[in-house]
Structures are given as C-alpha cells and as structure tokens.
Chains A and B, each alone.
Chain A
C-alpha cells in the first residue's frame, strides 16, 4: 500500500496543474516580477517630476 503513495501524490499534483493552467498565471505574483530594477525606475519618476 505504501508503494502507491507516490502515484497518488502525482495524481493530485497533475490535477492541481491542470486547474492552474486554466487560470491567468500573470495574476500569481512571483517575488521578483514587478520589483524595481536597480535605482533607475524610481529615480526616473522623480527626475521627470523635477523636469
């Protein structure tokens, strides 16, 4: 019986991925997406304001 556990875990994961693919992934944030590139992005806005 315990040798069946990995297969059951796999089936659960595949179900999860299948459901996950039907949704818009861009709404799941990654810790990096949207993070400012070094200095430039935020500085640019202040520079524009100053101009």
Chain B
C-alpha cells in the first residue's frame, strides 16, 4: 500500500508541476495577476507531494519491504538503521527521487523568498522550474520508478553496496545535489530575464544570493566527495580526474565564473548576455553530469547501473531544456545591450579575465572528459585521458587566477590606479615571496619547484585577501566596531579567497612531499616513511553489525615517541560476499598517517600500504573556507534591505494606482 501511495504522490506531483509550468505563462500573456499568483501555491503543493513520495520510499527501506524491487536491491535485514535511511539514495532510482525532492525544495524556497519580487518575474521563474520538474517526474515515472513491486516478493535484500555504508554517503550526495539543482534557480532567472527582456541591476541582485547558495553547496559536495574517496577507497588519492568527478567540477567552474560575472552585471551593467549564457551553462553542465553518470555513455567508478532507455530520455530532455534555452538566447540576447564601457585595468576588467580563465579551464576539462568518447564515435580508436593531461592543461590555466585574486579587492570599479594598487599590495607580495622560500622548508624540511610555486600563489591569495579586511577593520577606532563594519559580502569574498589559498598550499604540498610504500610486515616488524616508524603489532578478528573484519594494529612512532595506534580493517560483508578495505588514518593539519590492510600470509605476515600525506587536510579545509565564505556572502543584509526597498517602492506605485 505504502509504495503505491508513493507512486501516486509522484504522479500527483507531475500534475502539479505541469500546472506550475503552464498557468503562470498564460498569466503572463494575459496579464492576469491571479494566474501569476497560482505559481507560488503550485510550488508549495508540489513540494508536499514529493516529500510524501520520499517519505514513502524511506518507510519501505526502514521497514525492509523486500516486495519493492528497488528496496530489495539496496537494503538488507542486517543493515544498520542509519544506512537504511541513506540507502534510499544509494542507487539510481532513489537518488533521482532525492534529486526531485531537492528541486521541489529549491522551488519552495523561491516561492517563499521571492514574494518580494515583482509578481511576473517570480511567476516566470517558478514556471521554468516547473518545466524542469516535469521532465524529471516523467523520467522517474517512465524509466526509473523506485516503487515498482517485485512479484513474488523476496525474503532477503541484496544489501547496499558496502563502499556506500559510510557516513560520507550520508552527506556527500545531498550536498552535491543541492548544488547541481540549485543552479536551476539561476537558470530559471536567466530564462525569465530573456522572456521579459528585463535584465538590470535589480535582476542581478535577485539572482546573486541564489547562485552563491547553490555554489556553496556544490563546493561542499565536491569537498566531501574528495574526502570520502580518500578515506574510503583506500587509494590515498583525493582527486582522480574521473569522468564523474569532472562532471561535478565543470558546473563548479562555470558557477564560479557566474558568481563573478553577476557582480559585474549588478555593479556596472556590463556583460549582460555573457552572464545569462553562464547561468544557462552552469545548469546545463549539471544536466550533462546527470547524463554522463546515468546513461552509461562513459564508464566510471561512480557510474550507476546503466540502461540505454534512461540515457535516451536524459539526452532528449537535455536537448529540449538546453536547446530551448539557447534558442531563446540566440533570439533575445542581442537585445540585452550593455551600457557603459569596460576598461581592462578596473575591477570589472579583472573579473572579465577571471571569467576567461575559468571558462577556458572548464572547456579543457570538458574536452578531456569527452575526447575519448569523440574519438570512439568517429571510429578512431579507444583511448583514456588521465591525470597527466588534466594536470598539465588545467594547472597552468588556474595559476593566473591566483594573481587576479590578490588584485580583486584592491582595484576599484571603473578605473584602477596602478600606484595605489602597488602601495597596498607591496606587503602581501613581500610576504608571499618570503613564504615561497621559507614555507616548504619550515613545513617539510626541503623544497621543490611546485611546492615553492604553491607557497607563493597560496600565501599571495591569503594575505592579499586578508589585507583588505585588515585595512577596513583598522579604519575603525576599535576592533569590535571594525569587525562589524565589514559587510558580510566582503567577509564572504575574503574567506573564499583565503580558502583558495589554503587549497593551493595543500595541493602543492601533498603532491610534492607525499609518500607511499607497499610493504610486507611480519609481527613486530617496522617500516619507515616520512620520518615516522610504522610497527605492525598484530591482527585479530572483529565483528561489526553486518560484517566480520580482520583488524590489524599498527603502532606509529616518531623518534621513539608513540604517535598513534592505527587499526586498518578488511571487512567481509556476507550479504554480497564482498571484501572491502577500511583504511585507518591518524589525521592532523600538517600530516595524515594512513594505513590500509592488504593480504595476510601463512607465516602471519601481512601486506600493508602506508601513506605519508603532508598538509592534505588543507585541501578540504580550503573547501570548508569557501563554503562559509559563500554562506556569509549569500546572507549579506544588503540583499534583504534592497528587496525591502524595492517592495516599498512597488507598494507605493500600487497605492498610487489605486
């Protein structure tokens, strides 16, 4: 009964979404405020329907209803409750339901917060979101229903993939989807601007907090995914340039460019058609990611079980949504004239360069991801594009961004002043050069060209960003009033740029000085890596809730002083008969000590892989800084004040008309 209710709720949601897509458009044609106002009610009703459907599926998982095919495939009677709840999004069908739940959530948020917008703009945005929802509901109902019954019912489930039985799964996909789906709001705003032809500073100011919020979730999603892969896969790597990682990274690059070009459009009224194109692009790349993961067109470690009919549906959907948007763009964008001229040495000029590098980097990632597919499609053979291509193409393209980041806060809008720029950036530049030489020695005891470059660019980004806030704080009589005088948007930008600098320090440090070793150790034997001694103490058996494990014990010492006891495991999940390695990590800001267990031998010795990963935490710490930067920027009060002022103005007009 419950699964049928869930299925029915999805059908109901489809109906509401269709109305939400069509009625406001009619209202806009006929200038009928009642039809326009319907959009908000539809958004709220739609959310209730999807939430009900999602609750039904969760109920099936929690109660282990193995008469539902999707539950049977991903649930198990021994699975702990927390993983029965997260298993809902553990495979294709359920993760799609999570996707539409989040889309409905964003739509609901737009309907609530956009009450302050002009009614027609708000209604058109909701109409576009309704169209996107309609496509995804059709996708679920036609190809991927999670509620399909299994006849006869199974007595036991096949269990959630053991790799996904990890706290990382609880947070990574929802965050990532919040980001992917969040760009649909910027997309909808762009379409509404193309339809109405109204693309002014107010439009940019409405769109900015939505875009920043989506971007911040995507940043966190990617960061969590990287951390999860590092600790769960046992390969010790944090980024593999896998097609599906690239699929999440491309919208991030486009979204980052969009955040910056929106600033130019709001403050200077320039780059209008470019901003609209980026908004379309960011969401299109999110859809492309969905297509790549779920169609099976590329093989990846992340790929869901693929099915050609799903691939065809998403491809057709992408053609309609993106094709429609770009046709509208080709037709209407020429009318979006930008006012004013753009000087290259000004904030808007530097932001234009920022956009050029980000979009070029995004194009390079796209090219590397699709190149094997293109060669294969033309019958020119099968190749794989790996990290060497991406590292050699991508890194040089983002290096200039670091130089620009330092200038961003100092160079004013309209026209920059070289002397003032040099005066304010002398100190950060000096600090960066000193740290370029000193930092690798201080942290790692030696240096490499990459580590020096990373220290230079990273500390330049950090100190140039910090000096702007420092200068603003110092202008006030005391620290307290100084700190509160800095707007949240400035704090946000500063934190995000500092995060970028920390990220660079982490990446260059771990690539330059990271070390790994494969060893076979008898009980009591030792190996040394990165100045740490790893002694294999022994191994024993452990039992988990739904697995049995062999657990090794490794004592880590440095100069005879005990540092940590590590307990790497090999877990056997009897439900699927799979063995996975559970690495054990002693974490620290300056270094991770990482052990994963290999194979046991008859003489009692074990093969182990040990890693020394200096400053790897800084990579994710950088992501966390960017997340909180986004949070501060999106919650800046000027968005609320400006909206309140706009609402008062429109109310005054209405009152005058009445």
Contacts and interface: CB of A to CB of B under 8 A. Distances in A.
Interface of A: 3-4, 6-7, 10-11, 13-14, 16-21, 23, 25-33, 35, 37-40, 43-44, 47, 50-51
B235 A38 contact: yes
A40 B377 contact: no
Interface residues of B, number: 61
Given A17-B297, A30-B298, A32-B300, A25 B306 contact: yes
Interface stretch (B56-64, B138-146, B220-228, B236-244): B236-244
Interface stretch (B85-93, B129-137, B328-336): B328-336
B242 A31 contact: yes
B301 interface: yes
B323 A27 contact: no
Nearest to B306: A25
A27 B381 CA distance: 10
A29 B299 contact: yes
B240 A32 contact: yes
B523 interface: no
A36 to B, nearest CB: 9
Q: Which of A17, A23, A40 has the most CB of B within 10 A?
A: A17
A14 to B, nearest CB: 5
B299 A38 contact: no
A40 B334 CA distance: 59
A43 B330 contact: no
B234 A30 contact: no
Nearest to B308: A21
Contact of A39 (B241, B334, B607): B607
Interface stretch (B368-376, B443-451, B470-478, B630-638): B368-376
B333 A3 contact: yes
A37 B495 CA distance: 37
A38 B583 CA distance: 10
A26 B377 CA distance: 13
B329 A39 contact: no
Contacts of A4: 330
When A and B form their complex, which 9 residue pairs have the shortest distance between CB atoms, in order from nearest? A39-B598, A31-B386, A29-B384, A19-B377, A7-B326, A43-B599, A38-B234, A3-B330, A43-B607
Contacts of B386: 31
Contacts of A13: 370
Contacts of A30: 242-243, 298-301, 384
Nearest to B383: A29
Nearest to B599: A43
Contacts of A6: 277, 280-281, 326, 329-330
Nearest to A36: B235
Contacts of A38: 234-236, 581, 596, 598, 609
A3 B570 CA distance: 56
B329 A7 contact: yes
Interface stretch (B66-74, B310-318, B538-546): B310-318
A44 B118 CA distance: 67
Given A25-B297, A25-B306, A3 B334 contact: yes
Contacts of B277: 6
B617 to A, nearest CB: 21
A37 B235 CA distance: 7
Contacts of A29: 299, 372, 382-384
